[in-house]
Amino acid sequence: MTQSEEKNRTIKKQAAFFLVFFLILPAILIAAEKSLPVCYGQSYYAELGELNKKLHEEGETPKIVVIGGSSVAFGLDPALMEEILLEKGYSYRVCPFGLYAAIGTSVMLDLSADALKEGDKVILAMEPTAETLSTYFGALSYWKCCEENAELLPPVSYQKKTALLGTYVTYLQERAGIQRSGILPVSNDVYAKSSFDESGFLSYDRPGNVMRLGFDPTAMIDLAAITVDAEFAAQVQEYIRSAREKGADVYLSFAPMNRSAIKDLDPQVMLGFFERMREAFPCPVISNPNLYVLDSGWFYDNNFHLNSAGATVRTVLLTEDLLAELGCYTAVEAELPEMPPSAYESLGGKTAYAGVEGQEEFFVTEPMVDEAGAMIAVRLVGLSDTAKEQSALVLPEEVGGLPLIEIAPGAFDGAGRLLELTIPESVLALPDRAFAGTPALERLVLRHKKTPCQITDKTFEGAGPVRVYVPDEMYALYRDGAGCATNPWERELDRVYRY
């Protein structure tokens, strides 16, 4: 073969590759997607399309856009804010624009930037977490938001488009798996599109705090450790500059925070957090973060989500802050609700699974205390010598009348004969390398019937091929994720079975 023929052959191969990769393969993938039924159309994901449409509606009335994570969805009543503002002589259309920590805040800035016009007001109210204060982008979760809302794709940045491209096949595989299983994502609880009204308010009734302790101890708020990612700060600064060019104003406020979940309530810690936020985001600060630290009775199912009464309280508080910035200092005459009682018992929280008779002395625990020093729960830290010889163990839900909520790393070390382990619903999460000390473990049974047991990316590190059995009615939540956070079970679904 001559050099010229070899060159022509190489060119043909390259042409064939580009034809397949850039034309035929995408066509096949798009056709595959079109052949799959809609999976997420009634889920929480689908509401992002509705919020985006509301944000981009044409009209003469200026907008107030509140940007953040899921605390915006759970903590802002647009109609109430509009009503209070109108009573004071200000006519605005309020657009809540926060939904899902699993997709990140950065993309909410991408989507909202081109909707801003002269006279609009933007309020940044991000939760103090690593996801919401960075350029984090959950591409796989975002595909689910876009399933019936393709208009969400063009506005995102080039980097996010690249991430979306890299997860497209995985997204199709997930939808195909859902089709095969016949189990659609859960869409009949608070985390459903139907839970929102036309204003974008999460109107689903949230009667009180459903968390056993009143807060989630697996996701404590560490204000001393919170920093703003430099790349995200730069994105927000560019967003502020662009908004001002259009005649819009951007302000900084704060997300509601569960007082019981804050690691350190020292005023200097809060001041340091405030200064870092103010330095990262060069816009007027309209709120005092101390006022957004609320008692646990105002919250619902995590440390940032408010119940229905709490949403009213936060809406009034934020509206007062905005009015003061606009130059109106007269008192807001809104009727505030009383703090509701705990709703944990109404969800069956009184029924404590006692474990197996005869195993009461198997478990070594230590007390957990609140900020006042009162014992509120217990942590499993080890097993007795007798327990380490057992082939099956069932953890109790309570020890000495206190809920067992946590398992310490290494708690099962030495249980070399353990084949089956049952975890009660009271245990909120499993730690790193939870089963590294149980080499024979084959079957892990989770009794959680309200929310999935949480794991880390290292929970099963060092474990054998253990199978995880979850209640049949909970399987969809383990597969698709529960609530607004990222789904830690995605990488472990091959282990998950139903019972």
Q: Do residues 140 and 171 make contact, with C-beta atoms less than 8 angstroms apart? A: yes
Q: Do residues 455 and 427 make contact, with C-beta atoms less than 8 angstroms apart? A: no
With respect to CATH, is domain 44-326 assigned 3.40.50? yes
351-498: which CATH topology? Rossmann fold (3.40.50)
**How many other CB atoms are found less than 10 A from the CB of residue 185?**
21
Type of residue found at 46: A
Same fold, 44-326 and 351-498: yes
3-state DSSP percent of the chain in helix, strand and coil, to 5:
40, 15, 45
- First CA to last CA across the chain, in angstroms? 64
CA distances for 3 relative to 17, 275, 282, 345, 450, angstroms: 21, 67, 62, 81, 69
Q: Label the pairing between strands 363-369 and 375-383.
A: antiparallel
Which residues in 415-445 are b (16+ Cβ under 10 Å) and which e?
beebebbbbbbbbbbbbebbbbbbeebebbb
Domain ranges (residues) in the chain: 44-326, 351-498
Strand partners, 238: none
**Residue 314: burial class (beta carbons within 10 Å; 0-12, 13-18, 19+):** buried
Give the global pTM: 0.86
Which structure tokens are listed for 479? 């597969």
Spell out the per-residue pLDDT of the chain, length 499, in tens. 566 666 566 665 555 544 444 454 455 546 556 678 888 988 899 999 999 999 999 989 999 999 999 999 999 999 999 999 999 999 999 999 999 888 999 999 999 999 999 999 999 999 999 889 999 999 999 999 999 999 999 999 999 999 999 999 899 988 988 888 888 887 668 888 999 999 999 999 999 999 989 999 989 999 999 999 999 999 999 999 999 999 999 999 999 999 999 999 999 999 999 999 999 999 999 999 999 999 999 999 999 999 999 999 999 999 999 999 999 988 888 889 999 999 876 544 444 444 556 666 899 999 988 777 788 899 999 999 999 999 999 999 988 888 999 999 999 999 999 999 999 999 999 999 999 999 999 999 999 988 899 999 999 999 989 999 999 988 988 888 766 667 889 889 999 999 9
